[in-house]
Structure 1
Amino acid sequence: MATLPPPLSNLSLWQRTVRSHPLLSSNATTPLPESADTIVVGGGLMGALIAHHLLERHPHHKVVLLEARELASGASGRNAGHCRPDAARGFTTFAKLHGGEQARKIIESEAEVLKLMDDLVKTNGIECEWTRRMTYDACLSPKFTEYTEAAIAGLQFAGGTPDLIRLDDKEARKATGTNAETAFAWDAATVNPAQLTLGVHTVNGLTGRYEPFAWTPVVDCEPLEGGGGWVVVTERGSVRCNKVVWATNGYTAAVVPEFKGLVVPQRAQAHKLSRPPAGSTFTPLQGSYSLRKSMEEFYSVAPRPDGTIVLGASRALIPLNEYHNRANDAGFHAGLAANALTAFAEIYPEAGYRPPSLRALEADAHRAARLKPTDPLAALDAPWPAAADVQGEDRGVGFEYAWTGIIAATPDLVPFVGELPGKPGQYAAVGFNGHGMARIALCAPTLVGYMDSGEWEGIMPECFRITQERMARLRSAEV
């Protein structure tokens, strides 16, 4: 579904923490400038970091950023709160699609992202709940243990050195608080992604050469008359520039037709859980977790510094047509919420959580889908009041609210980064398959370096690059 972002509806946990941020609706009514050196389209973390590296590398460069809604309104403000690079598990799938060498490079590049993110946050003093912590794949079935061990063996055979620890059943249960038969642990972080994204926008603004424009949907991009540049057309006017960078992720195909069928929006979902109820014997979670029953059935768990928890769920638990090629991030899927909340309560019974009834979740989901602030600066109260006819036991214990975010899926499960074929001066970094927090901090500076020199430097895997051959192959489904 090639469409621009819909009107902003219910807000994520992260977006609720930044309602008073001064940059949220930057320049919403300010006239657009006539020109800029580079225009970045997309106000999420990728767009902010591309602008950041352009401004660092070019002391006199002027960058304009255009965002269809408020800044951090898309996946960067609506994800599950992890910076969780893969240590080995994805090797098997990537090797089938890209070969062993590229699969190894994908895994190795993600370890670098954690270092880059840590340095970005600490060097710039960005307050964003950034917490380095161990992360665990808790294997809740023999099948998933076998799958992970095979991936580790494959990575080692390809010359990789998996940087993770295998825990036996007793260690796994102690570390994860589950009945896992084994677990795999490695270094990661949790983060408030909306605060992080707005923090980068704030740092960019200190240069005096950066102008972000919120509530400015881009509808077209035309060659500058006479060549040598582009005119970016928005609903509020047009801006001339030398270069354009698309950081539009799940909404890319609406403005860049080359990506129709190659960058497809998908709905993902997360849930906020309160602190464990009073009297609970639950030991507070210290790590972050992926509770793995299989490749299709899993749940992500991200504790926050205040003791609340963000719970994510696998999209594969609902029919494909209910999340694939869907670009609307309003409301949430009540059935997916019921599954995730029930599974969490079963996996951690001592925590005292009790899932709401499906009827209560459906009532909340319906109301959330209808929330549409008429004023782009309006805030939404949280949590949502219970529907009048859904009270008492139906409300459960511990669940506060849920939200949807739009990710971008590609046929070969890796992003598109580079220059658009046949359109010199137009670049893109899109299609992060719900794994952007473990890739963006590497892809952004790599793309900016390529924009300057025309040469690829660093350790970004070659399979991420935009090429005519790759796009044609994927269109013919020969992945």
Structure 2
Amino acid sequence: MPSQIFHPEFKARPFWWEAYAPETMAPIELPRESRVAVVGAGYAGLSAALALNDAGIDCIVLDAHEPGFGASTRNGGMVSGGVNVGKRYIAKPLSPEAAAPFMSDAAEAFTHIEDLIAREKIACHWTKAGYFLGAWCQSHYRAMEKKIAVLNANAQTGAYIVPRERQRDEIGSDYYRGGMVVERAAHIHPALYYKGLLDIVRRRNIPLAARTPVTKLTQSDSGWIVTTPRGDIKAADVVIATNGYTGDVTPQFKRRVVPIGSYIIATEELPPEIARSLSPRNRSIADTRRVLTYYRMSPDGRRLIFGGRAKFGQTDPVETAPVLYRFMVDRYPQLEGVKITHAWTGNVAFTLDEMPHMGKFDNLHYALGCNGSGVAMLSYLGFQTGRKIAGHVNRICAFDSEDFPTHPLYTGNTWFVPWIGRYFRTRDWIDRNIGG
């Protein structure tokens, strides 16, 4: 199969980069001082910079690569507001009462990105078409029935249950045991959304230094000395917004986030009747498997964008493409023989409690831990971090907590991730074949 699934014009790079790819930026002269230095130019970093600029606070954004090189232009472009909060595979699930404030702020994150795109007229194919979550087994379907009331009460998701006999209204497949629709969900072109944020930063003349890795952070009486190969910058505050690319410069955060590769493929253009059948209402789609898959149609409705945890760990996206292809055909047998035009990967940052986090630790501000829901969440947490530094917050965000757990045996080495993958696959098999 591997040699047969690739299109003659196959590219091992994101499909999204056909519309916008991270571009080479001319080097800027680094300031000797800046009120705030933001490390990482993804969704969170740019959002923090824009919030600081709104407050009249000068900042500089530093990135080790070209801005947008990481997950901000590589993700699936699916946007939800609260549906994934408290969705835990290893950590103890939150009670409905404990989850309520997090769901409320996750719903606010959805409002934030929707309003931002409308206000700034960001052309990123914002499509508020809802989300279908397929139940991998009968027990997962029953759990959905209990969750809907909590979602609707705390996140205003417009969620409702879909029994198996009505599943074809939502997805052109009989693969699942029914599912759940979340109406307050959307999908976008993630690279064009990123370009929109970057364009705002440029219009406001916020300094952004590409290919300028931070190599050292030294605390001083007046704040921080931020060391780069191109010189030092004095900053009163520093924001760490590196998410799945957090490195050795901030070991206190490296041991709190677990980078995991998420893999995605894009099909060739499909016959119109097949394309229309895959997601009749143009929903974005995911399932309740521990070995997650997620998928949606391309903005023009002609291709399927299909992603998931094809491998646990870091590997070549070409190697994982046949695994995703098999997952895709399992769900959509009608796509057997369709060719893949693109395959790529990017790092998702999971946390040990499987929750996003913002706050201040060791005198460093941070917005980290997308846990697979980074488009809205990291945009929002970056925005909230900037407002917090400016003193413009009226209340404490639920994700702003002093409790950012780690483990004494974890220092950033993800050797254990493949073993978690084996455990997830075993549990998925048991749930499907024994639990129904």
Q: TM-score, normalised by structure 2?
A: 0.81
TM superposition shift of 1:452: 2.7
Superposed displacement of residue 162, structure 1:
6.0
Query: Residue type of the partner of 1:434?
Result: G
Structure 2: how far apart are the matches of 1:411 and 1:95?
7
Deviations along 1:404-431, one digit per CA (max 9) or x if unpaired, are 101112100112311123x2xx311112
Counterparts of 1:414 and 1:116, CA distance in 2: 19
Post-superposition offset of 1:456: 6.0
Where in structure 1 are there 5+ consecutive unaligned residues?
Answer: 1-8, 355-395
Contact residue 89 and residue 148 of structure 1 kept, 8 A: no
Which whole-Å CA distance do the structure 1 matches of 2:198 and 2:342 have between them? 28
Q: Displacement of 1:95 after TM fit?
A: 8.8
Name the amino acid aligned to 1:197: Y
User: CA offset at residue 445 of structure 1?
Assistant: 2.7
Aligned match for 2:200, one of 180, 199, 203: 203
| SS of residue in 1 equivalent to 2:128 | strand
Kindly indicate whether the alpha-carbon contact (under 8 Å) linking 1:420 and 1:466 is maintained by their aligned counterparts in 2: no
The structure-2 alpha-carbon separation of the partners of 1:230 and 1:31, relative to structure 1 and needing over 3 Å to count, comes to same
Where structure 2 has 5 or more consecutive residues not aligned to the other structure, the ranges are 1-10, 410-436
Give the corresponding residue for 2:356. 415
Give the alignment of 1:188-337 within 5 angstroms: 188-208=185-205, 210-224=206-220, 227-277=221-271, 280=274, 283=277, 285=279, 286-292=281-287, 294-306=288-300, 307-313=302-308, 315=309, 318=311, 320=312, 323=313, 326=314, 331-332=316-317, 334=319, 336-337=320-321
Distance 1:281 1:185, change over 3 A: closer
SS of the counterpart of 2:170?
Answer: helix
Q: Does the residue aligned with 2:317 lie in a helix, a strand or coil?
A: coil
State the one-letter code of the partner of 2:53.
Answer: L
Partner of 1:435: 373
RMSD of aligned alpha carbons:
3.0
**1:147 Cα deviation from its structure 2 partner:** 3.0
Matched, 1:405 2:346: yes
Q: Structure 1 residues 11, 217: closer, same or farther in 2, change over 3 A?
A: farther
Letter in 2 for 1:25: T
Q: How does 1:59-458 map to 2 (within 5 A)?
A: 61-87=57-83, 90=86, 96-152=92-148, 163-179=158-174, 180-186=176-182, 187-208=184-205, 210-224=206-220, 227-277=221-271, 280=274, 283=277, 285=279, 286-292=281-287, 294-306=288-300, 307-313=302-308, 315=309, 318=311, 320=312, 323=313, 326=314, 331-332=316-317, 334=319, 336-350=320-334, 353-354=335-336, 396-421=337-362, 423=363, 426-453=364-391, 457-458=394-395
**Once the two structures are superposed, what CA deviation does each residue of 1:224-270 show, in whole Å capped at 9, x if it has no partner?**
4xx11222111222222221111111222422121232112111111
Question: How much does 1:297 deviate?
Answer: 3.8
**Which shifted more, 248-257 or 39-48?**
248-257
Q: Distance in 2 between matches of 1:465 and 1:278?
A: 46
Show CA shifts across 1:68-101 (max 9, x none): 1111111111111211234378457699355443
Deviation at 1:300, TM superposition (A): 0.9
Contact 1:55 1:204 in 2 (8 A): no
Aligned partners of 1:62, 1:243: CA distance in 2, in Å? 11
| Aligned residue pair count | 396
Greater relative contact order structure (CA < 8 Å, 6+ sep): 2
- How far the C-alpha of 1:152 sits from its partner, in A, is 3.7
1:358 is matched with none
Return the TM-score normalized by structure 1. 0.75
Contact 1:84-1:188 within 8 A present in 2 as well? yes
Report the CA distance shift for 1:312/1:417 in structure 2 as closer, same or farther (over 3 A): same
Q: Which amino acid aligns with 2:120?
A: N
3-state SS, counterpart of residue 440 of structure 1: helix
CA distance in 2, matches of 1:278, 1:119: 32
Q: Distance in 1 between matches of 2:113 and 2:156?
A: 22
Change (3 A) 1:98 1:258: farther
